[in-house]
C-alpha cells in the first residue's frame, strides 16, 4: 500500500487546541483512509480527538501527515488544507 506524505504549517492562530481538533477529526472521519499527524516526535490518529489534542501543535509549527488507504491522497490534502487555513478559528473569534 502506498503512503501519502505531506507537510503542513499550522496557520490556526492558537494552534491545534480543542475546537480545531474537533473540526479536524470531523473532517478526517469522512474518509476511509488512515491519516497520522506527526509533530515533535509524537504521532496522532487524525480520527481521535484526544490523540489530536495531545499532539500540542502550536501556531507556525510544521506537521507531517502520513496517509494510507484508497482515498489517502484526498484525505491528506483535505486535512493539510484545514491545518493551513488561517480562517480556522473559534466561532467567537478566539
In the chain, what are the domains? 3-84 (3.30.1340.10)
Q: Report percent pLDDT > 70 for the chain.
A: 94
Beta bridge partner(s), residue 3:
68
pLDDT band at 16 (very low <50, low <70, confident <90, very high): very high
What pTM was estimated for this model as a whole?
0.91
Catalytic residue positions, numbered: 17
Cβ(26)–Cβ(82) below 8 Å: no
Q: pLDDT at residue 75 above 80?
A: yes
pLDDT at position 1 is 74
Cell triple for residue 46?
487524525
Amino acid at each position: 500500500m502506498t503512503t501519502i506524505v505531506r507537510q503542513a504549517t499550522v496557520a490556526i492562530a492558537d494552534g491545534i487546541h480543542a475546537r480545531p481538533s474537533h473540526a479536524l477529526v470531523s473532517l478526517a472521519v469522512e474518509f476511509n483512509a488512515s491519516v497520522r499527524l506527526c509533530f515533535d516526535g509524537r504521532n496522532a490518529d487524525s480520527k481521535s480527538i484526544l490523540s489530536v489534542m495531545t499532539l500540542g501543535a502550536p501556531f507556525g509549527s510544521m506537521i507531517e501527515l502520513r496517509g494510507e488507504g484508497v482515498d489517502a491522497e484526498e484525505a491528506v490534502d483535505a486535512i493539510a488544507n484545514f491545518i493551513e487555513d488561517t480562517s480556522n478559528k473559534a466561532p467567537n473569534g478566539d
